[in-house]
Chain A
C-alpha cells in the first residue's frame, strides 16, 4: 500500500513554503482555514493572511483587488462555496479580466462524506472549465498537489484548483514535474486507456492491475490539468488503444469525461465509457461507502473497461 496524504495538507504546507520565498503571495479564506489548511500560512504570515469571514463572494472579488494591486492571491474555501456561490465573482472579477488570482478549493467531490450532498461539489470542474481564460487543475495526490501549487504560483492568470478532503494514495512516488496543460502516462497499455483525474487515478492504476490478470493491457493517463487539456496525449491514446474509459469524482456531465469526449468526437472518435456521478447529487455517508455507492471503485472501472472493449 502506498503512502496516504490528503491533497489539502500538501497545499497548506506548500503555501507556507511559498510564503517564505515570495512576499507578494497573500492568502484569503472564508472561515474554513483549519479545513483548507491555509491556517498554516496564516500562522506564519499573519500580515499577509486575510480571513474574509463567511463571505465567499466578497473574498473572491477582494482577491481580485489584491491582484490588481500587484499581489499574488490564493483564495480558499470548500469547492461548493468557491465555484458555486462565488461563481459570478470568479467570472467577472477573475476570468473576464484575466486576474492573477488562484482559487484553491478543497473538499471537492463526494468524499467530503458525512456532511452530505449540500457540501459535495459534483459540478465545479464543469462550471470552471466553461469559463474563458480559466485554467482548471485537479491533482491526483499529495506530491502532484505540491508541484501544481508551485506551478500555479509562477503562472500569471486565474486558476481553479480542486483538492479533496480525505487522505489519498500517493501515485507520483518519484516526485512530480507539473506542467500546466500536460498529462502524465502512468502505465503503458495497448488494449484500452483509462483517462482519469483527481483521486480516480489511483483507482485506475488498481483497475489496470486487475485487468492485466485478465490479459487486458490497460494504459493509464492522468490529467491533472483539466484545462488546458493535453489534447495530443488523449488523441494518441485513442489512436493507439482504440477505446477510452474516463473517470472522475464529479458528474459525468461537463467535467473530464465531457472534455475528453469533446476532443475525441472532433479529433478521433472511438468508444468511450464515462465513469462518474450520473447526473445526481451526493448524500451523507463515509467516503469509501460513497465511492462504492456511486460506482467509483476499481471494480467499477474494470467493468467499464470490459464494456468499452466490447464496443471496440
Chain B
C-alpha cells in the first residue's frame, strides 16, 4: 500500500502533466489528445514512482525501460520526460515543429529518454520483448514496461509478441493495456471486436490483472504485484477513459487526433485548476 501522501503527490503530478499535454497539443495545433489523457496516470506512476531511471544519464545500463507501443500518445511521454528532467520543459512548445527533437511519434535518435521508435502500431511490444530478452541475457535486474492501446491489439503482431514473451517466460516484462474502449473509427467492440482480452492473454500464458487505470493506488499495487510473478510476463488491463480529466473530451472518439482549440484549452485548464 502506498502512503496516502504518495498517492496525493502522484495524482497532483498527473494533473500537472495533463496540463502540459493539453498546452503542447494546443501549441502544435495537431496531435493526439484522447489517448494521451487516458494513458497519463499509468505513465505518471511509472516515471515518478515505480521505474528506476536517471534523467541525467538516459543510457544508464541498469535502468528500467518504458516502451510506448501506442506511439501516438507521444505528448504523454514527452510531458513525463520533461517533468523528470530529460530535457527542458520549454522544448514542449516545439512539439511537431520542423527541426524539433519532439517528433509527432517517439524517436529514440532525437529525444533523450525515448527507448525505441514507435508510431506504427503493433511493433513496440515486440521491441519491448527484445529489450527484456537482452536484459536477461546481460544479467540485468532491470524491468521493461510497455503501454498498448486497445485498438492496437488488433494487430496480429501483438499476438506474435505475446506468444514470444510467454514462450521465453519474460517475467521482467510488464505490459499495460490502455483499455479506453475507443479507437479512431469508433468503439473497439464495434470496429473489430478483439475481446475478451483478459481470457485471450491468459490463454497465451500471461499473468493478467485488471485495475482502474485512473486509480494511482491500484496501478502502483499492480506494478508491485507484477514483480512477484515468476516465469510469466504480466498484463495489466487498465480500465481507462479516453480524454480522462477533461469532461468534454471524455469518451469521445473524435478527440482521438484533435488538439484542443484555444477555447477548449482554457476551459480544460480551468477544470484542472490551472487557469
A: number of interface residues (CB 8 Å): 32
Q: Does A293 contact B (CB under 8 A)?
A: yes
For residue A179, CB closer than 8 A to chain B, the reply is no
Residue pair B103, A117 in contact (C-beta under 8 Å): yes
B171 to chain A: closest CB distance in Å?
A: 28
Chain B residues whose CB sits within 8 angstroms of the CB of A116 once the complex forms: 96, 103-105, 107, 119
The interface centre, meaning the residue of A39, A54, A289 with most chain B CB atoms within 10 A of its CB, is A54
Additional A-B contact list (14), CB under 8 Å, known A118-B104, A283-B99:
A31-B151, A32-B184, A32-B185, A39-B185, A51-B185, A54-B152, A55-B154, A55-B156, A81-B120, A114-B28, A118-B71, A118-B105, A285-B96, A285-B99
A85 within 8 A of B: yes
Q: Which of A81, A116, A284 has the most CB of B within 10 A?
A: A284
B104–A51 CB distance below 8 A: no
Contact of A283 among B30, B98, B118 (CB under 8 A): B98
B164 within 8 A of A: no
A53 and B98 alpha carbons, distance in the complex (Å)? 31
- Could you say which of B104, B154, B184 contacts A284, with CB atoms under 8 Å apart? B104
Q: Give 13 A-B contacts (CB < 8 Å), ordered by A residue.
A: A34-B184, A51-B192, A53-B154, A53-B192, A54-B121, A54-B154, A55-B155, A81-B120, A115-B105, A115-B119, A118-B117, A118-B118, A284-B100
Q: Which residues of chain A from 1 to 47 have a CB within 8 Å of any chain B CB?
A: 29, 31-35, 39
A80–B123 Cα distance when bound, in Å, is: 14
Instruction: Evaluate contact between A53 and B97: CB separation under 8 angstroms.
Output: no
Q: Is A146 an interface residue (CB 8 A)?
A: no
B104 neighbours in A (Cβ, 8 Å): 114-116, 118-119, 284
For A117, list chain B residues within 8 Å (CB).
103, 107
In whole angstroms, how far apart are the Cα atoms of A39 and B191 in the complex?
Answer: 12
Q: How many residues of B contact A (CB 8 A)?
A: 31
Is residue A57 contacting chain B, with contact meaning CB distance below 8 A?
yes
Q: Are A31 and B156 in contact (CB under 8 A)?
A: no
Chain A residue with the shortest CB-CB distance to B100: A284
B183 at the interface (CB under 8 A from A): yes
Contacts of B122 in A (CB 8 A): 54
**A239 contacts the other chain (CB 8 A):** no
Report yes or no: A51 in contact with B191, Cβ–Cβ below 8 A.
yes
Instruction: Contacts A114-B28, A118-B120 given; indicate if A53 touches B100 (C-beta within 8 A).
Output: no
B105 touches A119 (CB 8 A): yes
List of B residues within 8 angstroms of A290 by Cβ: 98
Contact B120 A286 (CB under 8 A): no
Asked if A231 is an interface residue, CB under 8 A from chain B, the answer is no
What are the residues of chain B within 8 A of A29 when measuring CB–CB? 185
Query: B259 — nearest CB in chain A belongs to which residue?
Result: A114
CB–CB A52/B71 < 8 A: no
The answer, among A34, A57, A119, A285, for a CB contact under 8 Å with B185, is A34
- With both chains docked as a complex, state the minimum distance between the C-beta of A63 and any C-beta of chain B, in angstroms: 15
Which residues of B, 193-212, contact A by the 8 Å Cβ criterion?
Answer: 194
CB distance from B121 to the nearest CB of A (A): 5
Give the 3 A-B CB pairs with smallest separation, nearest first: A53-B192, A285-B98, A118-B119
In the complex with contacts A57-B156, A283-B103, A52-B192 CB distance below 8 A: yes
* Cβ contacts under 8 Å, A81 to chain B: 120
Per the bound structure, the CA–CA distance linking A293 and B100 in Å amounts to 13
B105, A55: Cβ atoms closer than 8 Å? no
Q: Which of A58, A113, A285, A293 contacts B156 (CB 8 A)?
A: A58
Known: A34-B185, A119-B119. Contact between A284 and B98, CB under 8 A?
A: yes
Cβ of B31 under 8 Å from chain A? yes
How many angstroms between the C-alpha atoms of A81 and B122 in the bound complex? 11
- Look across to chain A and name the residue whose beta carbon is closest to the beta carbon of B31: A114
Instruction: Report the minimal beta-carbon distance from A82 to chain B, rounded to whole angstroms.
Output: 12
Interface string of A270-290 (1 = CB under 8 A from B): 000000000000011110011
Chain A residue nearest to B253 in the complex (CB) = A34
Tell me the complex Cα distance, A55–B158, Å.
Answer: 10
- With A54-B152, A55-B156, A85-B120 known to touch, is A31 a contact of B100 (CB < 8 Å)? no
A residues in contact with B155, CB < 8 Å: 54-55
Beta-carbon contacts under 8 Å, B14-63 to A: 28, 30-31
B30 partner residues in chain A, CB cutoff 8 A: 113-115
Q: Cβ of B31: which chain A residues have Cβ within 8 Å of it?
A: 114
Residues of B within 8 A of A34 (CB): 184-185
How far apart are the CA atoms of A118 and B117 in the complex, in Å?
Answer: 8
How far apart sit A40 and B185, CA to CA, in the bound complex (Å)?
Answer: 13
CA distance A152 to B117 in the complex (A): 36
A58 cross-chain contacts in B, Cβ below 8 A: 156
**Chain A residues closer than 8 Å to B191, beta-carbon distance:** 31, 51, 53
A283 to B, closest residue via Cβ? B103
